[in-house]
Amino acid sequence: MEQTEYHSRTAKTVAALLCAVFLPLMLIMTAILCMADAAAEHNRSAVTACFDTAVAIPASADITFREHIFQMRDCFAVLDSAAGELEVPEDVPPLDTTLVKSLFYWLNYGNESVRLSEEQAASFVACFVRFEERTREVERTEDPGEDRPEDPEPTPPPEEESEQEPEPVTETYQAAIPLMELPDIFQNLANHLNRSIDLQTQSGCLEIYYMVRYGEASRGGATDELIDILIDGESEYIGGAAGSPFAEDWRGHVTCEFGNGHRGIDLAFPTGTPIRAVASGTVVLARYGHYSYGNYLVIDHGGGVTTLYAHCSALTVATGQTVSAGQVIARVGSTGNSTGSHLHLEVKQNGTLVNPRTFIS
């Protein structure tokens, strides 16, 4: 009895202490998160207004904001028309104009004035394709300028002639083949703009793209939905036997196991320690400043298998890049929701989180 009372008193004291200490902390945290959300929301509404001309700009919006939206909309129209000028063959995927505009948006974000001539738009859009000389069969069309004036009442041609009429001719044209590899596109843009486009800027460009293309799926905590969209579940596994995310053995560094709500495994290493891809694959997501994961990236190993590396101090590869097992992809840090320098590693198989211990070696 006494024991119970003592315990319940202790519990009450502890609860009171917890409230006294943590409640203000939690309120501060909530306030910070709300501020971050407000900034993200503002950003999101600017992007939406630029991409969707049907969206009315709120009357309360300040003049700079409105100016920015109108300029971007004008540029987007010029970019769309430049993209429309390209001759993309039907047997290749069409040019993703949302990608073109998203990259343009972020590369010009914060510029006081954004304008684009037709010529500039054409050379910007050209960074997203490669040109290839192709031939096609076209029906020879009679030159109306020569025949019509002298023959105002066209008489239907005799049967025999009309059968011979559609005489196909082969013509050569410059086919625009959309580039599928993001690193190639960024390289072309860097050459065109005559400036380097660092990995974080590349990531920012793609955030705009995800926002426009995938909407709600692009935000959120675990980003599972976005990853599912970005990977090709039908592909074959190309990862090979998975190794360690570090040059040295990881086993002595586990500070938090998988399970009980923990989505991965925590491996404590000093800040800056190189992180390696545990298996070969393609980087499908490289994000900076996520409120929970911090700087993180996701590798698609094919066959529905992905690995995620969170809280990094630096990412050294970009989205779309092919990486081989053991290649350095990032550096250990404590960004996002983290209390110490460590790597949070997640492994997913066909949409389900699995214990990384069963995957890496």
User: What is the binding site for Zn ion (CB under 5 A)?
Assistant: 266, 344
Under a CB-based contact definition with an 8 Å cutoff, are residues 273 and 248 in contact?
no
Under a CB-based contact definition with an 8 Å cutoff, are residues 330 and 317 in contact?
yes
236: helix, strand or coil: coil
Nearer to Zn ion, 207 or 266 (CB): 266
What is the token pair recorded at 168? 């196909």
Least distance in Å: CB of 343 to Zn ion? 9
Least distance in Å: CB of 305 to Zn ion? 19
Under a CB-based contact definition with an 8 Å cutoff, are residues 114 and 75 in contact?
yes
SS3 labels along 104-142:
HHHHCCCCCCCCCCHHHHHHHHHHHEEEEEEEEEEECCC
Nearer to Zn ion, 233 or 259 (CB): 259
Q: Nearest Cα to 329, choosing from 297, 357, 300?
A: 297
Least distance in Å: CB of 293 to Zn ion? 9
Nearer to Zn ion, 178 or 294 (CB): 294
Least distance in Å: CB of 322 to Zn ion? 27
Residue nearest Zn ion, CB atom distance: 344
DSSP 239: -
Nearer to Zn ion, 61 or 353 (CB): 353
CA–CA dist 359, 347 (Å, integer) = 8
Least distance in Å: CB of 256 to Zn ion? 5
Nearer to Zn ion, 58 or 340 (CB): 340
